[in-house]
Amino acid sequence: MKLTPLVPPIKCQGIKTKLVKDVKNIVSDLSFGRWIEPFSGSGVVAFNINPKKALLADTNTHIIQFYNNLKNQFITSKTVKLFLQENGQVLKEQGESYYYQVRERFNQSPNSLDFLFLNRSCFNGVMRFNRKGQFNVPYCHKSERFSQAYITKIVNQVIALENILIKTDYNFQVADFRETLSNWQKTDLIYLDPPYLGRHTDYFNSWSQEDEDCLVTILKDISCRFILSTWHSNQFRSNPLIKKNWSADKFYIYTKQHFYHVGSTEKLRHPITEALITNFNIPLLPERGTDLQQLSLLPSTAENEGVRTV
């Protein structure tokens, strides 16, 4: 039976839902003490792996605040339901003007419920902040966005997380990746999904060549296991950093193509080949019935010569 991945209530562009099965397959036979994510984003990978203990860090204070508020029961599935029902009704009556009223309210005094409201009613599910750290995504132009069915869907996503958080030891932390990766232990397992160099970034997920180089240096010195997600190629170009940074024999590279649905028009939404890079070998087991056996190897071309694949 095909299992549907748990989808968090917070939407992020680049969410790794389509890689969840593959990462889960990789770690299913591994024994580790703590799961660490320096770029946790929506938390979709961690919530689906469901480790007993985790450090989930991100520079986006609003995401971390939302999950901490959920963990501490400052907000609950019941308060989320009531808030979306009440504010969704006002949105239905007032339309666009109310969305921008909530956005202004949030930017003046951020809170987790307004954040969730904006995240689920903004244009195309994009999360973007300007240089002042203000949420600046326009309205989705769907005044009946918060139908009862849609609210039920979001509330069920919150309930699923409540059930996870009550049984686990998760530490949600606002932190730069350097700080997060300074406290690793030998028994930890680290999953990393950093911003892609050269692609759009904003106030909370800016990413420079200096950041990229620093991360690579840190990972090459780490002796606990890690899994790094990055892009390998799309129809226009390939990622030159894979050969530059990960060609040593101790690293293993796996690829998988999928499709992102974030973009202002369908013409701007293209398939992309993702790479999973590890510092440990992964036995590919097709009998598990996941997509792992479909991970294609890096093509044997001059461009990828010197990159070890398995």
Task: Tell whether the model's pLDDT for residue 290 goes beyond 50.
Answer: no
The pLDDT, as a whole number, for residue 136 is: 95
Give the H or E element holding residue 232: strand 225-234
Q: Which residues contact residue 93 at a Cβ distance below 8 angstroms, ignoring those fewer than 6 apart? A: none
Tens digit of each residue's pLDDT (9 = 90 or more) over 180-193:
999 899 999 999 99
pTM value is: 0.87
Summarised one tens digit per residue, pLDDT across range 273-285 is: 888 999 998 875 4
Average confidence (pLDDT) over 276-295: 62
Question: Where exactly are the structural domains of the chain?
Answer: 17-59+175-304, 71-162
Cα(294)–Cα(44) distance, integer angstroms: 21
pLDDT over 70, % of the chain: 83
**Where is 64: in which H helix or E strand?**
helix 61-71
CB 171 within 8 A of CB 56: yes
> DSSP class of residue 18?
G
Per the model's pLDDT, the better-predicted residue between 287 and 68 turns out to be 68
pLDDT of 206: 80
pLDDT at 256: 81
pLDDT of residue 18: 80
More confident of the two residues 233 and 162: 162
Distance linking the first and last C-alpha atoms of the chain: 28
pLDDT at 17: 82
- Residue 293 is predicted with a pLDDT of 35
pLDDT at 198: 66
Phi, psi of 273 (to 5 degrees): -95, 120
- Kindly state the percentage of the chain with pLDDT values over 90: 62
Question: pLDDT digit string (tens) for 106-119?
Answer: 999 999 999 999 99
Average pLDDT, the chain: 86
- The predicted model gives 224-233 an average pLDDT of 90
Q: Check residues 177 and 258 and name the one with the higher pLDDT.
A: 177
CA-CA distance, 93 to 158, in Å (whole number)? 26
Number of other CB atoms surrounding residue 254 within 10 Å: 22
Q: What is the pLDDT of residue 203?
A: 60
Strand partners of residue 36:
55, 190
SS3 201: coil
* Residue 302: per-residue pLDDT: 37
pLDDT tens digits, 229-271: 988 877 777 888 888 899 888 899 888 876 554 444 445 456 7
When mean pLDDT is compared across 71-80, 250-259, 263-272, 300-309, the lowest value belongs to 300-309
Which residues on neighbouring strands pair with residue 174, listed in sequence order? Answer: 58
pLDDT average, residue stretch 11-18: 79
CA dihedral over 77, 79, 80, 85, signed as positive or negative: positive
pLDDT above 90: residue 178: yes
DSSP of 112-173: HHHHHHHHTTBGGG---B-TTS-B---B-S-TT-S-HHHHHHHHHHHHHHHHHHTTSEEEEE
pLDDT at 107: 98
Q: Residue 228 has which token pair?
A: 């790094």
Residue 79 pLDDT > 80: yes
The two beta strands, 188-192 and 169-174, are unpaired
Note the CATH number of domain 71-162: 1.10.1020.10
Write out the CATH class of domain 17-59+175-304: alpha beta
Residue 228, strand partner residues = 192, 277
Q: Is the model more confident about 296 or about 19?
A: 19
Phi-psi region of 133 (alpha: psi -120 to 50; beta: other; left: phi over 0): left
